[in-house]
């Protein structure tokens, strides 16, 4: 068996998943900052078959094998590795090749591998858990073997000769944290964790209490508070490894697309970006192929329906971009026309004025949409009735009288507080010293007018009592009673004969003695009377005297 050593030049690590090249003689080497101890037993290894050899290695005895002429090659890793690649293996027919990882045997199960060129044979993947290989012809040609797991020791054993080896390894310490920054505010932050081990456990921490167990977490719509150092911790091969990456968040432009509102037909359409930041580049686009780079763009000085629609704003600040849009609507002035019919004595309130003449009037006001609007009023003023009141003034009026009042100048009338329509005459009781007579007249066009009249009435307390009467039926002085135009309350007239008997009683000033006594004509003679009561103003009255009855 020939174990071929082909050594490539250089051992620089660019990424954590790159293999370290292990070269040199047996002993302890520093590979990628980690200690690797190499020992061998049996034959001496050397380079051959045109590969660049760095042997010979001195082989000593380390692992018993039942066959004479056995050879072994052992790697002891101070820090576990996750992948081991052995290249340039050549085994003759009838010879056996065995692997032992962390003291446990592993088998090579790939058989009948095709012959390949020196140092570039087919791969065989060796994973933990296999049994020790037996038999012959396991590898019949030069091959490459990759071993994975948390590997601390690797032993290569054959009953042939170890002619040489090319070896490389991933150390478990190889962890890289990176990101897609710088990221614009509001964008998505992609964190990327890279580690060489199998079954690695990831844990990210960062600004603002951020944490994640994902290998490649994404933070959507990040804010400036997310800027800072993010730490990746990876647990693998019973150890913890860390790396950090700095995330830069760039401020995005602060914009709000708007326009001067209300926007009325014929006024200026002025777009607003509402940005107060420096170094912001704006780009507006809108209906009718409108385009402008002004932060506050004037679309037109006379807005119309063709200017309606969506206006889109893109703002750039450095490498960051923000977008917003606004829907522009052009409001139309409201034209409102109406007609009103009013009575001449009422007027019509319009635009702060009281109008009393027919005509067309216009007023400008702010409508609900914020635009100046015009209201047109056609006013028709119809005549109002002109009421007049009259009554007879031939005598003094007393409280308690009823006054006949006549109205003119309208077609229908409402007297006082009466709801029903009445005629043009009304009997109005005079109940106080000053009486206000009110009437509302209604014309044929339903206009109204109200007239009032104040009438003064006296208490009329004067009273005259005659001293004689002749109840003979001739219609002259047939009855005895007070002569007055007043109206009394609590009134009583009592008449007595010469023996003091009361032969007549009257409780209204209109009820007078007719000269009868007990149903028969009273005798001619002198009788006595008493009058008591109150005037309309509550002044008490009392009269007494004699009356001569003449037949």
Q: What is the mean pLDDT of residues 52-80?
A: 45
Q: How confident is the model at residue 165 (pLDDT cuts 50, 70, 90)?
A: very low
Fold of 388-456: Immunoglobulin-like (2.60.40)
Distances (CA, A) of 350 to 310, 360, 361, 365: 40, 11, 8, 12
Q: Does domain 175-250 have CATH number 2.60.40.10?
A: yes
DSSP assignment letter at 432 = S
Whole-angstrom Cα distance, residue 37 to residue 35? 7
Whole-angstrom Cα distance, residue 110 to residue 147? 13
Give residue-wise pLDDT tens across range 415-452.
988 877 888 999 999 989 999 999 999 998 889 999 99
- SS3 labels along 295-320: CCCEEECCCCHHHCEEEEEEEEECCE
Q: How confident is the model at residue 77 (pLDDT cuts 50, 70, 90)?
A: confident
Instruction: Give the pLDDT score at 72.
Output: 64
Instruction: Give the pLDDT score at 462.
Output: 87
Q: Does domain 468-549 have CATH number 2.60.40?
A: yes
Res. 401: pLDDT tops 70: yes
Share of the chain above pLDDT 70, in %: 71
Q: How confident is the model at residue 340 (pLDDT cuts 50, 70, 90)?
A: very high
Instruction: Give the pLDDT score at 161.
Output: 47
Is the distance from CB of 198 to CB of 148 less than 8 angstroms?
yes
Give residue-wise pLDDT tens across range 109-122.
443 333 333 323 33
Longest CA span, the chain = 194
Q: Does domain 258-328 have CATH number 2.60.40.10?
A: yes
Sign of the alpha-carbon dihedral angle for 210, 215, 220, 225: positive
Give residues with Cβ within 8 angstroms of 311, minimum separation 6.
Answer: 257, 259, 271, 284, 285, 286, 287, 290, 299, 325, 326, 327, 328
Instruction: Give the pLDDT score at 530.
Output: 96
Q: Domain limits of the chain? A: 2-171, 175-250, 258-328, 335-382, 388-456, 468-549
Nearest in space to 268 (alpha carbons), one of 294, 297, 293: 297
Instruction: Give the pLDDT score at 481.
Output: 94
Higher pLDDT, 498 or 9: 498
Tokens standing for residue 401? 């009288």
Q: How confident is the model at residue 154 (pLDDT cuts 50, 70, 90)?
A: confident
Higher pLDDT, 134 or 196: 196
Is the distance from CB of 167 to CB of 147 less than 8 angstroms?
no
Instruction: Give the pLDDT score at 169.
Output: 56
**388-456 and 175-250 share a CATH fold:** yes
């Amino acid at each position: 068996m020939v174990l071929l050593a082909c050594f490539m030049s250089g051992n620089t690590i660019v990424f954590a998943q790159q293999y370290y090249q292990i070269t040199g003689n047996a002993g302890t080497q520093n590979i990628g900052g980690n200690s690797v101890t190499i020992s061998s037993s049996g034959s001496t290894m050397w380079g051959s078959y045109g590969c660049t050899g760095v042997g010979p290695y001195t082989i000593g005895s380390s692992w018993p094998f039942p066959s004479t002429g056995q050879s072994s090659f052992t790697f002891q890793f101070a820090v576990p590795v996750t992948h081991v690649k052995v290249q340039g293996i050549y085994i003759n027919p009838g010879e056996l090749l065995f692997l032992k990882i962390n003291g446990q045997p592993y088998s090579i199960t790939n058989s009948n591998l095709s012959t390949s060129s020196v140092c570039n044979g087919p791969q065989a993947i060796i994973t933990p858990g296999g049994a020790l290989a037996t038999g012959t012809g396991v590898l019949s040609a030069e091959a490459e073997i990759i071993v994975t797991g948390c590997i601390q020791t690797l032993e290569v054993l054959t009953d042939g000769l170890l002619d040489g080896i090319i070896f490389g390894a991933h150390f478990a310490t190889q962890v890289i944290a990176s990101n897609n920054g710088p990221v614009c505010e509001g964008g998505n932050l992609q964190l990327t964790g890279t580690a060489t081990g199998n079954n690695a456990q990831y844990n990210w921490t960062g600004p603002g209490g951020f944490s994640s167990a994902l290998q490649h977490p994404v933070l959507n719509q990040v804010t400036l508070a997310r800027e800072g150092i993010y730490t990746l911790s990876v647990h693998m091969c019973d150890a913890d490894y860390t790396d950090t990456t700095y995330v830069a968040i760039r401020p995005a432009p602060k914009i709000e697309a708007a326009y001067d509102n209300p926007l009325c037909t014929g006024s200026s359409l002025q777009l607003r970006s509402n940005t107060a930041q420096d170094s912001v580049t704006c780009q507006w686009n809108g209906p009718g192929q409108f385009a402008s780079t002004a932060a506050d763009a004037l679309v037109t000085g006379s807005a119309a329906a063709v200017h309606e629609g969506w206006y889109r704003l893109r703002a750039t600040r450095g490498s960051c971009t923000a977008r917003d849009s606004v829907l522009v609507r052009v409001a139309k002035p409201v034209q409102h026309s109406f007609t009103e019919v009013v009575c001449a004595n009422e007027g019509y309130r319009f635009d702060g004025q009281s109008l009393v003449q027919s005509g067309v009037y216009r007023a400008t006001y702010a409508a609900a949409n914020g635009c100046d609007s015009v209201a047109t009023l056609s006013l028709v003023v119809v005549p109002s009735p002109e009421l007049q009141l009259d009554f007879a003034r031939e005598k003094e009026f007393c409280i308690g009288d009823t006054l006949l009042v006549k109205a003119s100048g309208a077609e229908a009338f409402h007297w006082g507080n009466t709801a029903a329509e009445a005629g043009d005459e009304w009997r109005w009781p005079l109940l106080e010293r000053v009486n206000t007579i009110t009437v509302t007249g209604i014309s044929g066009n339903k206009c109204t007018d109200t007239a009032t009249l104040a009438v003064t009435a006296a208490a009329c307390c004067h009273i005259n009592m005659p001293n004689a009467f002749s109840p003979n039926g001739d219609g002259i002085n047939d009855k005895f009673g007070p002569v007055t135009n007043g109206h009394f309350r609590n009134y009583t007239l009592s008449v007595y004969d010469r023996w003091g008997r009361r032969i007549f009683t009257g409780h209204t000033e209109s009820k007078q003695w007719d000269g009868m006594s007990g149903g028969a004509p009273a005798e001619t003679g002198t009788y006595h009377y008493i009058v008591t009561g109150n005037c309309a103003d509550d002044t008490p009255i009392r009269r007494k005297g004699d009356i001569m009855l003449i037949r």
